[in-house]
Amino acid sequence: MERGETMIDNPFYGPAMQGDFRLFDLGNLILTCGETLRGAKLAYRTLGTLNADKSNAVLVTTWFSGTGKVMQDVYVGPDHALNPDRYFIIIVDQLGSGVSSSPHNTPAPQAMAKFPKLSISDDVAAQHRLLTEVFGIHELALVVGGSMGGQQVYEWAVTYPNMVARAAVIAATAKISFHQQVFIETLIEAITSDPAWAGGWYTAGTDLRAGMDRMARIVATAGWSAEFYQTERWRSVIGMSSLDDFINGVMKAYFEPMDPHALLTQMHKWQRADVSRHAGGDLAAALARITARTMILPISHDMFFPPGECEADCRLIPGAQLRVIGSPEGHMGLNGFAPEYMEQVNRYLTELLSD
């Protein structure tokens, strides 16, 4: 991509850090908000081989702050349910991930603060084009993702029921909760209250270290469970020597190389994800459209998407099965820090895939 004066070259989102990915040129992507994102790019990577009848395709989506690299490293491999020896696995970075089109890598006049507002449906529209135009895939054996990735799975299952044979939603709900709406706003405010934010026209993401650090600590308060803290799993599971060491060395360090605008673009989508708008606000009617064999996988100690809320969605989906992943980490368990977490995910996804 060419970079204009207002763009920021952030090496964190380049191949040195993100590994081997490709960019699909979407051209002009007309967004749900009505604006057109010009020269839109969707980052993706594939593992395994598409079989002759194109029946072994698995789509993997990304969560807030995550990239395709994380999904590849944590969820895909010969020892996992998402085994490239059996499946053709397409991992797609969400729009605004920092690797796909994002404010900092989009040229004027849509750079930085002028980047349009996105929604989860824009992701699914872009992913649909990738699958059909690049690979000629018209049915997915499975769509799977966690957190914002799970919001994309819901959007897929409701928007393209005929294309989704199986859906696995990890740690997400079909409609953003009121609690999450408030929580995400605290993250937005932590970043944009930094004077270096400068109305979105900062020249380096690291200028906003103070705001990003505050945001990281707020994420820490709900991303990990109270039990995770009280049983000092930041020591036993994560390997940090003190609480400060954990906040500084894990939470702040994790977000530090990322672009603030990219995170805010994702937060905007995260805060508004809601498949009920496909049925005029009727969530039950929207979820009743799902024909995929669906598995809902909340995380036991999740404070973002509590198991009870995920279970309520599950009851509205024809034939959907609930499998609660036991993980004292809470929402952040998604990153697969504890071996027990991935063991459960693999077991449940294998069950779904062999169904």
Q: What are phi and psi of 196, to 5 degrees?
A: -70, -10
Question: Is residue 147 annotated as part of the catalytic site, yes or no?
Answer: yes
Question: Is residue 302 annotated as part of the catalytic site, yes or no?
Answer: yes
Is residue 247 within the footprint of a second copy (CB under 8 A)? yes
CA dihedral 112, 113, 117, 120 (to 10 degrees): 40
- Please identify, using beta-carbon distances, which residue of 81 and 176 lies nearer to a second copy: 176
Where does residue 247 fall: left (phi above 0), alpha (psi -120 to 50 degrees), or beta otherwise?
A: alpha
Question: Is residue 331 annotated as part of the catalytic site, yes or no?
Answer: yes
Scored b (16 or more CB within 10 A) or e, 312-338 reads ebbeebeebbbbbbebbbbbbbbbbbb
Contact letters for a second copy, residues 290-329 (x by CB under 8 A): -------------x--x-xx--------------------
Q: Which residues pair with 144 in a beta bridge?
A: 60, 168
Q: Considering only residues 82-141, where is the footprint of a second copy by CB under 8 A?
A: none
Pairing type for strands 36-47 and 22-30 reads: antiparallel
Q: Which stretch binds a second copy (CB under 8 A): 20-28, 72-80, 103-111, 175-183?
A: 175-183
Residue 210 CA from chain centroid, whole number: 25
Is residue 178 within the footprint of a second copy (CB under 8 A)? yes
Length of the chain: 355
Is residue 189 within the footprint of a second copy (CB under 8 A)? yes
* Chosen residue from 93, 194, 274, 329 binding a second copy by CB under 8 A: 194
* Chosen residue from 134, 218, 316, 324 binding a second copy by CB under 8 A: 218
- Please identify, using beta-carbon distances, which residue of 122 and 313 lies nearer to a second copy: 313
Residue with tokens 């079909």: 174
Q: Which stretch binds a second copy (CB under 8 A): 112-120, 140-148, 220-228, 347-355?
A: 220-228
Is residue 177 within the footprint of a second copy (CB under 8 A)? yes
By CB neighbour count within 10 A (0-12 exposed, 13-18 middle, 19+ buried), where does 216 fall? buried
Which residues contact a second copy by CB under 8 A? 177-179, 181-183, 185-186, 189-190, 193-195, 210-211, 214, 217-218, 220-222, 224, 226-230, 232, 234, 243, 247, 303, 306, 308-309
